[in-house]
Amino acid sequence: MRMTPAVILVGILSLLAAITLTVVYWPYSTIDRTPSDIFRQRTVVEAAGRKIYLENGCVYCHSQSIRAFDWGHGADRIAQAGDYIADEPIALGSQRTGVDLSQEGGEHPDDWHIAHFINPRYTRPSSIMPPFEWLGMARIDTLTQYIQSLGFKNADIRMERQRYWKNESIKAYEAGPDANAKWLAEIVPEGWRNLPNPYPTTKASLQRGHVIYQKFCIGCHGPIGDGMGPAQPWIYPPPLNFTLLKGREISGGIIYYQLMNGITGTAMPYFKRDLESQKIWEVGDYIAVYFINQSDANQDPRGIDAAWEP
């Protein structure tokens, strides 16, 4: 084959045209643009927040697309083409240096996000996300509204729930420590409330609990458990001062349940995904022993001792 300029030019350009038609134009013209069940249009503020998201390269660390085999953030709704019909540009992301955000709306209340944007280490001590305090409060608010809309109608339902419980938690907090502790215990289902920590306190378990506390809780509850971690100024109701719980019959079961499930409406997140059962019991016992100064570990009723217990 003799490669003349004409052969090269005509050859490459017609190939490119043909291939572009097949793999770009054809899908473009045949794709289904029906909205998915959760889709809704964004408000003006949410759209402005999305712009801040794009300008600051959040997309290089955060995907917005859940796969069938994911476990972490947002894993309960697998992405559908109809979720993206208003996205220009689409912000799928190609890397997860941070978590997937496609269902982030309502995952936390606004105050958690604001503290997190000011400095991610405040709410997530081992985070490597850069701080965004320089955006200033106005833009952080706008950005937060966008984040709270991720997941569309599902996000709206979650936000509704967050707002309802935010009101309840503020009422309880403002009614004083007694009322707050009572409220905190009462939102835990009956069965859990009467459940002591079934495992014994050991030196090793306290040490493990300490490590977990450092990596997950210290930014809010503070190094001495008084609720004065660096996130405290941005969070309301503020992180709990554990010493207030002394003498209020807080069972291991209450602490376990609150850690597992979080306290919706407050900044207190759920740790069910991050921590396995043993870790939740042990960090719970750690705060009970060191900060509340009162632990019901290994008290009756505790069932049969597990095989590994000393």
Instruction: Collect all residues with Cβ–Cβ distance below 8 Å to 266 and sequence separation of at least 6.
Output: 109, 165, 166, 169, 237
| Per-residue x/- track, 45-64, another protein (CB under 8 A) | --------xxxxxxxxx-x-
Report how far residue 112's alpha carbon sits from residue 294's, in angstroms, rounded to the nearest whole number: 29
| Per-residue x/- track, 277-306, another protein (CB under 8 A) | ------------------------------
Q: In the window 92-111, what residues touch ligand HEM (CB under 6 A)?
A: 94-95, 97
**146 and 113 in contact (C-beta within 8 Å)?**
no
Report how far residue 120's alpha carbon sits from residue 123's, in angstroms, rounded to the nearest whole number: 6
Give which of 262, 234, 251, 309 is closest to 285, Cα–Cα.
251
> Residue 2, Cβ neighbours under 10 Å: how many?
4
**90 and 198 in contact (C-beta within 8 Å)?**
no
30 scored as a contact of ligand HEM (CB under 6 A): no
Among 118, 155, 254, 297, binds ligand HEC (CB under 6 A): 254
For 282, the token pair is 């042990």
State the binding partner of 268 from another protein, ligand HEC, ligand HEM, none, CB within 5 to 8 A by kind.
Answer: ligand HEC
Q: State the nearest-atom distance from the C-beta of 35 to another protein, in Å.
A: 10
- What is the binding site for ligand HEC (CB under 6 A)? 53, 56-58, 60-62, 73, 97-99, 101, 104, 107-108, 112-113, 116, 120, 123-124, 127-130, 132, 143, 147, 169, 173, 180-181, 184, 216-217, 219-221, 231, 235, 237, 239-240, 245, 250, 254-255, 258-259, 263, 266-269, 271, 283, 287
